[in-house]
Structure 1
Amino acid sequence: MSTETYIPIETLCTYYKVETSFFQGLNDYGLIEITTIEKSPFIHHKQIKNLESIVRLHQDLHINFEGIDTVLNLLEKIHDLQSELVAAKNRLRVFED
């Protein structure tokens, strides 16, 4: 397993100014996935975009893990509905032309 695509939790704690327990809580709640490599916790780089949203929701809006989970689920549903709307508009264009 290559560590090039993983970011150490310690680095993220310093960058976001949070405790390691914050990341452990996110992992326990299923919001992120922590991978242990050589007894050190890491997060895959593909989770960073989602992680940044989570940290902003928590720090700026003081939303707890349950609230963050709800917000992320709602945002995902909005994205799905927007995709469906675009697909429906594209199908309607066929009949308009």
Structure 2
Amino acid sequence: MKKDNLIPAEEICIRYKVERKFVSYLFESGIIEIVKIEETEYIPDEHLSEFERMIRLSRDLEINLEGLEAIHHLLQQIDKLQQDNRRLRNRLGLYE
């Protein structure tokens, strides 16, 4: 993975005004990925949108960390169902 696509976790904590513990929990829950290079932890930029979504849910709706994990799981299921639906519609289109 290119270092250009990585954002230092400490910089993200400062920019978004979150505790390091929040970032660690999201990593431990499998919501975001953390890459460690030379004792510095980075978050890949492709996980930034999911990180921002979790911050908004936490702050705006006051959802706790366990709730964020449950919401993330449900959103993943919805995404998978939408992909399956698209795939089935495409297959159905072949028979029409």
The interval holding the TM-score normalised by the smaller chain is: 0.7 to 0.9
**Correspondence 1:56-95 to 2 at 5 A:** 56-95=56-95
TM-score normalised to structure 1 length: 0.80
| Alpha-carbon distance in structure 1 between the residues aligned to 2:46 and 2:12 | 14
Q: Report SS of the residue matched to 1:4.
A: helix
Runs of 4+ displaced beyond 4 Å: none
Change (3 A) 1:71 1:90: same
| Alpha-carbon distance in structure 2 between the residues aligned to 1:26 and 1:74 | 15
Structure 1 gap ranges (5+): none
CA shift, 1:2, in A, is 4.5
Q: Which amino acid aligns with 2:44?
A: H
Is the CA contact (8 Å cut-off) linking 1:32 and 1:51 kept in structure 2? yes
CA-atom RMSD in angstroms: 1.9
| Alpha-carbon distance in structure 1 between the residues aligned to 2:50 and 2:19 | 18
Mapped pair 1:16 → 2:16: yes
Q: Which amino acid aligns with 1:33?
A: E
CA shift, 1:32, in A, is 2.2
| Alpha-carbon distance in structure 2 between the residues aligned to 1:56 and 1:15 | 14
Change (3 A) 1:81 1:10: same
Superposed CA deviations along residues 45-74 of structure 1, whole A, max 9, x for unmatched, are: 121111111111111111122211111111
Residue-pair matches, total? 96
Match of residue 48 from structure 1: 48
Q: Report SS of the residue matched to 1:36.
A: strand
